Copies of this chain bind each other. A is one copy, B any other.
């Protein structure tokens, strides 16, 4: 059975028609509407794209979106990367299109996508981690998505990994993995390590370029990043004891050679090490996971 899948990001939205075996039969990408007096432009743009791709009577729809989500209300609440207080999704889309719409967090969707069609196929205990602007995660435990009381289990960007510097992440608290090692926060962590107070001291790109060019300062900093990433992955191992950890997200995709193996070398050998791999799905894991969620419902 084909379904519609939507991956709603801060800058772009992707809408696709996806077959039962995870093949993308048609897709459309457009800038996420970020103006207007309310968030209704977002659901309107998704509705139009779904009609173009799947016709006037589309199949069930799964929507993956960056949180925070109110799953019961089917809405995004106070999104940090969109200029709206609230984006209603499930209600307007179901009313306009007359089909069931399933909303889930993009990192939880990524875990579902990997489990069904990517590096997690056949693996009943896995953790999916996406490192991009922020750090998110999703967990498959015993073959099923770990949800927690409200769908937020696996918010692994907010585990403690470092108490030096006291860097605060987007959630408002210090010491979290995301506060140090996400794409947005790496430059600030670098400046803190180098004792600079200049907020424009470096960009993530300049750090990675510097390391590739052999700059010792950048290289030493990435060694420190590997220590923190190794610690974070080790906490995931004792929390979930996965067989596999799948790394994804823009930062990992662009810099896998500088990030993945060095972090694995720093992992603690307390429990048997899981395999640590990068996503083979080229950024489509959340989109494919949204399709899985639509189909499961």
Contact = CB atoms under 8 A, between A and B. Distances in A.
Q: Is the interface of A mostly helix, strand, loop or mixed?
A: loop
A185 B21 CA distance: 52
Contacts of A175: 231
A241 B148 CA distance: 5
Contacts of A235: 158-160, 235
A214 interface: no
Contacts of A141: 141, 146-148, 153
B163 A271 contact: no
A46 interface: no
Contacts of A150: 241, 271-272
A152 interface: yes
A57 interface: no
Given A144-B142, A161-B160, A163-B162, A152 B268 contact: no
A173 interface: yes
A47 interface: no
A242 B147 CA distance: 10
B144 A271 contact: no
A99 interface: no
B270 A172 contact: yes
A132 interface: no
A183 to B, nearest CB: 19
Given A160-B160, A163-B164, A231-B160, A173 B268 contact: yes
B272 A153 contact: no
A270 B175 CA distance: 13
Contact of A159 (B142, B159, B164, B242): B159
Given A149-B242, A173-B268, 20 more contacts: A125-B153, A141-B148, A141-B153, A142-B144, A146-B146, A146-B240, A151-B241, A152-B271, A158-B234, A158-B235, A159-B160, A159-B238, A160-B160, A160-B231, A160-B235, A163-B164, A164-B164, A171-B270, A175-B231, A235-B235
